[in-house]
């Protein structure tokens, strides 16, 4: 069977990234730098024949996907399941406020994700995994032999890449971080996954 290629990108830098606010299901617009980063991804992937783009339903991800698509007639399909982890009461708060009010949960979020318990209506890492991995499998099954671009978010991407890397949730931060507008690449052939690129930012230059 023909090889399936999946590119996975995080959205570009946002205003709340600069303000060190947690976004989750809430949204803030791309900064000028974030737009430039997305344009870097456009140039990076311009020579690739991308058959279809899937985007999180969050505007920062969709705007990034639209910039990458440019004037090429590539369909963009929105999947709400690709949104960021829901951060409950943390959404919209600055990191310094979260640390002062929820220190243990904050520490677990970054250091012991399997022990992280969200506040309010937030999701655990396991709940995020249960939400996003089935839709990734569906996308693969629907688009065998194609080149796919998925535009999503930092923690969501960590969970997706952990799946491809056969990595347990508690070890999710052992691998390098996912920077804004960074790029991952997966090859799938005969049911075998190969990670060809992880969090690459060489298009920043």
**Does 25 carry a binding-site annotation?**
no
CA–CA distance, 104 with 109 (Å, rounded to integer): 9
- Asked if 143 and 51 count as a contact pair (C-beta separation under 8 A), the reply is yes
**Does 10 carry a binding-site annotation?**
yes
169: its two tokens: 């949730």
The count of C-alpha atoms lying within 13 angstroms of the C-alpha of 159, restricted to the half-sphere facing its C-beta, is 28
How far from chain centre, in Å, is Cα 105? Answer: 22
**Does 21 carry a binding-site annotation?**
no
- Of 19, 25, 81, 84, the catalytic one is 84
**Does 60 carry a binding-site annotation?**
yes
Q: Is 179 marked active-site?
A: no
Q: Is 153 marked active-site?
A: no
DSSP-based three-state secondary structure for 71:
coil
**Does 13 carry a binding-site annotation?**
yes
- Asked if 198 and 176 count as a contact pair (C-beta separation under 8 A), the reply is yes
Which whole-number Å values give the CA distances from 153 to 47, 74, 161, 179, in the listed order?
A: 24, 21, 12, 10
Which whole-number Å values give the CA distances from 70 to 5, 13, 73, 106, in the listed order?
A: 20, 18, 8, 38
- Asked if 159 and 133 count as a contact pair (C-beta separation under 8 A), the reply is yes
**Does 131 carry a binding-site annotation?**
no
Beta strand 76-79 pairing with 52-56: parallel
**Does 95 carry a binding-site annotation?**
no
- Binding positions are 10-17, 60
Catalytic residues: 11, 84
- Binding positions for substrate are 10-17, 60
């Amino acid at each position: 069977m023909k090889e399936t290629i999946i590119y996975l990108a995080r959205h570009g830098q946002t205003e709340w990234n600069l303000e060190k606010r947690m976004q989750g299901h809430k949204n803030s617009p791309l900064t000028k730098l974030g737009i430039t980063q997305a344009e870097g991804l456009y140039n990076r992937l311009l020579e690739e024949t991308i058959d279809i783009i899937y985007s999180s339903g969050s505007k920062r991800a969709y705007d990034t996907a639209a910039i990458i698509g440019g004037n090429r007639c590539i369909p963009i399909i929105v999947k709400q399941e690709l949104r960021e982890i829901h951060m409950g009461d943390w959404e919209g708060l600055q990191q310094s406020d979260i640390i002062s009010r929820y220190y243990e949960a904050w520490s677990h979020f970054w250091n012991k994700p399997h022990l992280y318990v969200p506040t309010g209506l937030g999701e655990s890492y396991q709940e995020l995994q249960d939400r996003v991995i089935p839709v990734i499998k569906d996308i693969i099954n629907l688009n065998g032999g194609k080149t796919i671009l998925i535009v999503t978010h930092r923690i969501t991407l960590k969970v997706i890449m952990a799946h491809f890397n056969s990595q347990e949730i508690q070890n999710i931060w052992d691998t390098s971080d996912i920077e804004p507008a960074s790029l991952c690449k997966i090859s799938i052939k005969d049911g075998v996954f190969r990670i060809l690129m992880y969090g690459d930012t060489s298009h920043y230059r």
